């Protein structure tokens, strides 16, 4: 047999089958036959490595492992889009465009909720796949891009071009992946976008290959392309997968009608979208209309309002928090909401449920508050059946059966039993969590496992785990390597700043921000333990309830004994001041919405605090600045309504450097 000839035959057959199935959704071959042929090709290539080429479909199986991601400088900046949240904002955009280009028309495309990617081809072959990064510099993910079956490894001609698009995870793949992770007791992905991003950023390409990622391409500037619509058509002819649900619109009214239509179809799409991208169709007009440093003025992204879907409320269960607060939780028939498969949502407290008149077995409306947290909006009372069960708050703790207490003036019920196991476990989980003492190797499940095994009953026991080394390494799912890593991280954590310890102790009303304010004032644990109510109330942003709870905590004999034990175990008990710079942000209250391309939220918070400001979670009249990242949530709308100053990432970085 002429092996080289057979390899070329197999490549042609398999690549054509992949294109038909993954690009055109028109299978021409049974899976059994495909698997049989690719197994033959793998066998030949393994025995004759010189016959394996860059366009071989066996490259999609993965297996390449990187030690780290290389940085890639984009030849042309990958700009983000400005957002519109109302039809009035779209009309304003239209007015700005028509003032400069009266004859402009628009092309509308679905805004796929995934990860932006740039693909570079040389002489027809894929040579580079890169993330957007900060727009100028991204990461080389070529090894993972090759595993996506809808990405052509070789074009139909020998062009040297760059195209851009969105890598995403279909809803079906997302559900299958999370079911697999749940079975393996691994942390679940929050939504399709996070799953896609996590898959693309794997150093081992065989992992990405198993995730069934997909891609739609939307940007290409060819020599004979005059419009965005022509660009999409030409990309499809070159073998790229292009979303077919785009529409050419002559007026902004046509655009709005298209948005309404897609909004209705959105829940039934096999992938997640969070808006519609509107571009001036005529490419020659782009230079006429211009761009800012970050955004093109000839395009805009309309963001859908929070998606609301209906499902059936199956039960109301109860969680016991670390402070003993009892939280009712809605369990409902799993439903997709903005890319996430949701089956639970907090119902907050008794008053909340009664005010909304929520019954078990009701059909209820679910959405994500701020596009993140699942919430029950309302029951569909008009659909209530005879099987509906009115809510009645429990009177005893679901964990220890102690009688619950509701304090005067409060909406919550509490379990006051200091030995309630669920309270104790949640205290350990909180202490080890990232916002608190940040022991990243000590996750929720491990905390519970070590508690149940008897090794960890309180916070001090975390730092005594090293005394049980031989017993720990034989626990299910662990072993010497895992325990070594855990103990090393625990030992390193002893050097954490005092505010992390203070927050980790779980003092009522003492959040991360308050802990930092207290540590700045009192400097060490002795100063904190001897602080009076009047000392604490004199600090700005610290109210009566916080001061009272803090002083009461520090007077309690058990708490004093715990702190002294932690001191003896070697934990840092002083607050190390970072340099506070006088700057534009000094004394300003900031809120961040969306995702910054240059840094994570934690780094942004540290920067703002080091420049004298503070970063809070919610927008209010007291907010001074809203920092706007990509894919912002409802905080943006609220800030606009309150007239709060809004700055984009570029301005934020500029002000930090001043």
CA distance 107 to 233: 13
Name the active-site residue from 11, 111, 356, 368.
111
As beta bridge partners, residue 248 has: 107
Q: What is the CA radius of gyration of the chain?
A: 28
The helix/strand/coil state of 36 is helix
Residue written as token pair 């209250």: 589
Distances (CA, A) of 437 to 459, 551, 574: 11, 22, 14
Farthest-apart Cα atoms in the chain, separation: 91
Residue 519 structure tokens:
């540590």
Distance of CA 113 to the CA centre of its chain: 11
Distance of CA 99 to the CA centre of its chain: 38
* DSSP symbols for 578-619: PPPPPSTTTT-EEEEESB-SSS-HHHHHHHHHHTT-EEESS-
Degrees, nearest 5: CA angle 99-101-104? 120
Residue written as token pair 């900031």: 590
> 282: closest CA among 106, 538, 541, 497?
106
CA distance 129 to 118: 6
* DSSP symbols for 535-556: HHHTSTT--HHHHHHHHHHHH-
CA distance 357 to 273: 32
Distance of CA 338 to the CA centre of its chain: 12
CA distance 468 to 450: 11
Residue 138 · residue 118 · CB < 8 Å: yes
Residues in the chain: 658
Helices (H) and strands (E) in the chain, counts: 25, 24
What 3 state SS string does 149-213 have? CCCCCECCCCCCEEEEEEEECCHHHHHHHHHHHHHCCCCCCCCHHHHHHHHHCCCEHHHHHHCCC
171 catalytic per annotation? no
The helix/strand/coil state of 249 is strand
Pairing assessment for the beta strands 115-122 and 125-131 based on DSSP bridges: antiparallel
Distances (CA, A) of 377 to 298, 383, 387, 635: 37, 15, 21, 18
CA distance 316 to 587: 43
Active site residues: 111
């Amino acid at each position: 047999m002429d092996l080289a000839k057979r390899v070329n035959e197999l490549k042609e057959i398999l690549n054509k089958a992949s294109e038909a199935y993954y690009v055109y959704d028109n299978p021409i071959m049974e899976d059994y036959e495909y698997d049989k042929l690719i197994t033959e090709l793998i066998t030949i290539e393994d025995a004759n490595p010189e016959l394996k080429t860059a366009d071989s479909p066996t490259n999609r199986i993965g297996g390449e492992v990187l030690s780290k991601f290389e940085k890639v400088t984009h030849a042309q900046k990958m700009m983000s889009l400005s957002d519109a949240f109302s039809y009035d904002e779209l009309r304003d955009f239209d007015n700005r465009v028509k003032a400069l280009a009266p004859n402009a028309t628009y092309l509308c495309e679905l805004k796929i909720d995934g990860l932006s990617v740039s693909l570079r081809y040389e002489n027809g072959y894929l040579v580079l796949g890169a993330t957007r990064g900060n727009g100028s510099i991204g990461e080389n993910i070529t090894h993972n891009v090759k595993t996506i079956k809808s990405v052509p490894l070789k074009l139909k001609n020998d062009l040297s071009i760059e195209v851009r698009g969105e890598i995403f995870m279909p809803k079906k793949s997302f559900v299958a992946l999370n079911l697999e992770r749940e079975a393996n007791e691994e942390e679940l992905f929050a939504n399709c976008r996070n799953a896609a991003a996590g898959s693309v950023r794997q150093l081992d390409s065989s992992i990405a290959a198993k995730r069934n990622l997909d891609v739609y391409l939307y940007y290409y500037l060819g020599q004979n392309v005059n419009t965005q619509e022509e660009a999409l058509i030409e990309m499809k002819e070159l073998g790229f997968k292009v979303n077919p649900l785009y529409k050419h619109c002559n007026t902004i009214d046509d655009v709005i009608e298209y948005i309404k239509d897609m909004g209705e179809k959105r829940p039934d799409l096999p992938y997640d979208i969070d808006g519609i991208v509107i571009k001036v169709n005529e490419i020659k007009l782009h230079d006429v209309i211009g761009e800012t440093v970050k955004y093109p003025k000839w395009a805009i992204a309309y963001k859908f309002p929070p998606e609301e879907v209906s499902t059936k409320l199956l039960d109301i269960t109860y969680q016991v928090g670390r402070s003993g607060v009892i939280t009712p939780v809605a369990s409902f028939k799993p439903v997709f909401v903005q890319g996430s498969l949701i089956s639970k949502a907090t119902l907050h407290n008794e008053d909340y449920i009664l005010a909304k008149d929520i019954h078990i077995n009701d059909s209820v409306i679910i959405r994500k508050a701020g596009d993140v947290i699942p919430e029950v909006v309302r029951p569909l009372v008009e659909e209530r059946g005879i099987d509906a069960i009115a809510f009645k708050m429990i009177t005893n703790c679901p964990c220890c059966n102690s009688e619950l207490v509701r304090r005067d003036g409060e909406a919550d019920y509490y379990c006051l039993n200091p030995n309630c196991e669920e309270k104790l476990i949640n205290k350990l989980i909180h202490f080890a969590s990232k916002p608190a003492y940040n022991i990243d190797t000590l996750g929720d499940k491990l905390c519970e496992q070590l508690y149940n095994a008897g090794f960890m009953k309180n916070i001090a026991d975390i730092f005594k785990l090293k005394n049980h080394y031989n017993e720990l390494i034989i626990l299910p799912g662990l072993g010497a390597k895992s325990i070594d890593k855990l103990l090393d991280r625990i030992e390193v954590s002893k050097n954490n700043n005092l505010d992390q310890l203070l927050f980790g102790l779980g003092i009522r009303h003492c959040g991360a921000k308050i802990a930092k304010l207290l540590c700045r004032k009192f400097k060490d644990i002795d100063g904190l333990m001897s602080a009076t109510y009047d000392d604490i109330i004199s600090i700005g942003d610290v109210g009566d309830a916080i001061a009272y709870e803090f002083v009461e905590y520090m007077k309690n004999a058990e708490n004093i004994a715990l702190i002294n034990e932690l001191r003896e175990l070697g934990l840092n008990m002083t607050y190390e001041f970072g340099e506070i710079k006088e700057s534009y942000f000094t004394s300003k209250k900031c809120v961040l919405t969306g995702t910054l391309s240059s840094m994570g939220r934690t780094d942004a918070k540290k920067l703002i605090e080091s420049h004298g400001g503070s970063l809070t979670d919610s927008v209010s009249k007291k907010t001074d600045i809203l920092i706007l990242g990509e894919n912002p949530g409802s905080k943006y709308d609220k800030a606009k309504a309150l007239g709060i100053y809004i700055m984009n990432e570029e301005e934020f970085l500029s002000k930090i450097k001043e």
